[in-house]
Amino acid sequence: MKHKDVIDEIEKFIFFGTPLSNDAIAHIEQCLECKNYYEKALKFNEGLKKLRDVSSNVSSKINLDTKKIDLLSTKKKVGYLSFLVFTGKIRKILITFSIALIILISSFLVNVSIQDYWSNSADEVVGNASMIMYDTVYSGLEKDEVLLEEW
């Protein structure tokens, strides 16, 4: 039997499970190269079976993580909304709203502080004026003159 035919038979054995012919087995026993190839092919075949076992074992232990799915589910409205807050349009709306709120509050505070400043200045002016008047009255001027000054 030719060397190439034996290799073909080994390939068919691995991938299609076709048993080797007696001629091929006899050749493999004589040819060292084919023997090594056949041994590797056997290992490959065995490895493929074990890989299927590993895969089915792992697969049987896998459960669907319902927490993640539930979060996205429309049935869980609260979860879905909280998810939207962090991902969707609501976040943008919230950001815009909070920026507007900050601007409003800050403008209100600025307004109040300006008003407070000016009202304090006015009190000071009135206070100074009354002190002057007080000084004038008791510095010996006539009451009428003072009154006139007031006018």
Residues engaged in binding other proteins (CB under 8 A): 7, 11, 14-15, 33, 36-37, 40-41, 43-44, 46-48, 50-52, 54-56, 58-59, 61-65, 68-69, 72-73
Least distance from C-beta 101 to other proteins, angstroms? 31
Contact 84, 90 (CB under 8 A): yes
3-state secondary structure 70-111: HHHCCCCHHHHHHHHHHHCHHHHHHHHHHHHHHHHHHHHHHH
In angstroms, give the least distance from the CB of 74 to other proteins.
9
Nearer to other proteins, 54 or 102 (CB): 54
Nearer to other proteins, 12 or 137 (CB): 12
Helix and strand tally (H, E) in the chain?
A: 7, 0
Shortest reach from residue 50's CB to other proteins, in Å: 5
